[in-house]
Structure 1
């Protein structure tokens, strides 16, 4: 029963996306990020597909972790995508929350800015295939 519900929801979701956009969203959109918190430099790499993303980060005090991200496409502004995330980090850092925005100023460029509770304020740059 759960698999039928999941399949039906997935088909309905994909039906709402125009064909060209669906194919474009299946190709991962990678980025790198550099940030700062408590005078420490932090780094991460991430990728996004179908408005879901994952980010692997190096935080303060040598912590490492992974974040799951959810992006929102704004209806009137295609090039702007706010996101929120939840992650798990080592070195007793625990659960992390994040949020920010990514923009697409050109067809192939991604620029972003965000805040992460462990990695601090960060800037992102990436590309679209």
Structure 2
């Protein structure tokens, strides 16, 4: 009887230790920057962004000299990280919606592809520290 209680307590303790291990969150405290190049209606568009704690911010330059900022929410999966976002751009471009995915290429490099309603389709290259 005592062995069964001790075994159950040990299994429960290991489960809680696994559940509350801070390794994943502490790794996300360091921002992960990226650059992005894309196109919309024949115009080249650019952006720089950073991600921490599954939230991101991207500063972009779109067609007709428009500039803006997007706030992104990432879903952290083991290999890929899809995201959705909402932003605002100048030059009467207004509100922008965006979405895409980032994929870990190596331990310190990731690539991505996305779409922004103002900046169009884009490719991303980023670094993890």
TM-score (norm 1): 0.83
**2:3 matched residue in structure 1:** none
Task: List per-residue Cα deviations over 1:66-111 (Å, max 9, x = no partner).
Answer: 000000023xxx1200000000000000000000000012110110
**Counterpart check, 1:49 vs 2:49:** no
Q: For residues 17 and 82 of structure 1, what CA distance do their matches in structure 2 show? A: 24
Give 5+ residue unaligned stretches, structure 1: 1-15
**1:118 matched residue in structure 2:** 118
**Counterpart check, 1:31 vs 2:39:** no
Runs ≥4 residues deviating over 4 A: none
Q: For residues 72 and 23 of structure 1, what CA distance do their matches in structure 2 show? A: 17
Task: List per-residue Cα deviations over 1:9-56 (Å, max 9, x = no partner).
Answer: xxxxxxx66311111100000000000000000000000000000000
Q: For residues 19 and 25 of structure 1, what CA distance do their matches in structure 2 show? A: 10
Q: CA RMSD in A?
A: 1.0
**1:71 matched residue in structure 2:** 74
TM-score (norm 2): 0.83
**2:15 matched residue in structure 1:** none
Give 5+ residue unaligned stretches, structure 2: 1-18
Q: For residues 61 and 20 of structure 2, what CA distance do their matches in structure 1 show? A: 34
**1:91 matched residue in structure 2:** 91
